[in-house]
Amino acid sequence: MMSTRENAQSSAPLSGLRVVDFTRVLAGPHCTKTLRDLGADVTKIEPPAGDVGRGGVPHVNQMSVYYAQQNAGKRNLSLDLNWPEAREIVAKLCKDADVIVENFRPGTLDRFGLGYVQVRAFNPSVIYVSLSGYGQTGPWRNRPAFAPTVQAEVGLTDILQHHFGEALSELRNDACSHADLYTGLHGVIAVLAALTHRNRTGEGQHVDVAMAAALLSVNERAGAQLSDVDTNGEPTALSAPDSHIFDLPDGRRVTIATSPVYSPSFMRFCAMMRRGDLLRDPRFKTAALRRQNLKPLLEEIRAWILTFDDLDALQAQVSEQNLAIGIVRTTRELAESDWARDWGAIVEVDDRGGNKMRMPGPPWRFSANTLPPPGAPAFQGEDNAAILREVGLSDEQIAALRVKGVILSRRSPRGAFD
């Protein structure tokens, strides 16, 4: 029986896919949330202490907005796996699952009889995805891993420090948890690939996804960084990540998607600015010299941009060189844009208190499928009774488990258990 919150439509691409979700915080929940938004029926298994993500601020009507963003639409079963009755219940769910996703430290679920080898014994076709910092094997397998630490280990923090070829005054972390989010999406890719393999062969499998490897794979500069080739001051990766920010006369700020340090882009800047004289300026003759004289070069570009009162006129002149401009906006400003309204980029999610929270909508449009509505975030253990009835327990048995402390539920991060 499907919860009223899990109102997935039968035409969604992953409709009918049964997912057991042992994940918490961000990487794993983002993986399973993506599967849910593609139509899968996701049952989240939450421990007595609750998902740490429930503590993410702000809270609206006792519900964490952070938690809701990654878990809306999932069913929720909260139990204590230290009880054999709880392990038996979860094993029944895993027996019927198409996909299991977990992001504990390697070996954690083995101790509860729910590791891949143990589950495979009674569900050989299962696709079991493990997300961790550094993989299930190897010298770093037991290291704790959070997005900032993995980003530091794999070079992202170093890239940020030297972003424009000039070291920042102090090291700093990125504002977004790239390692978690990319790992979650690579987990989705793993599920889809393994499903294709199973559809062809009938064979399930275990997929090991490492945060460090995921983040390294999406570093478009990695090949250049590993090549040890001296670029003579030229930015790597076509220079787009080195784009600068410029002020407009009306106070808005824009970026042009390239760096004038990069030789081909410098020629484009000179052409769109109608400044052939800059091509002959000895300060800007090479990439190394432009990097050395970056401040006066950027001053020339800023002065040119300030001659435009009309953003469309600026874009037209920039477009002559097949470049693009982007306005620096806040997330809220983007949400109010015509594009966001047309795309449906922002959706309203039930805040469980009679109102709505605004969240990012799906990034896909399928011509042959209809995606499910956003769904609502569950309180901890909210679906205990419904899920336990599905696996064959009577109301009396469910009540006994509740009294014993095997299952539990609560409505707030700090609230009392029912």
- Residue pLDDT, tens place only, 75-127: 999 999 999 999 999 999 999 999 999 999 999 999 999 999 999 999 999 99
Q: Tell me what pLDDT residue 242 has.
A: 83
Using a cut of 0.85, tell me whether the model's pTM lies above it.
yes
Ramachandran sector of residue 334 (left: φ over 0; alpha: ψ -120 to 50; beta: rest): alpha
Active site residues: 180
Q: Tell me what pLDDT residue 29 has.
A: 97
Positions in the chain short of pLDDT 50:
1-9, 165, 167, 413-417
Q: Tell me what pLDDT residue 372 has.
A: 95
Question: How many CB atoms sit inside 10 A of residue 395's CB?
Answer: 10
Q: Tell me what pLDDT residue 61 has.
A: 85
Question: How many CB atoms sit inside 10 A of residue 317's CB?
Answer: 18
Ramachandran sector of residue 69 (left: φ over 0; alpha: ψ -120 to 50; beta: rest): alpha
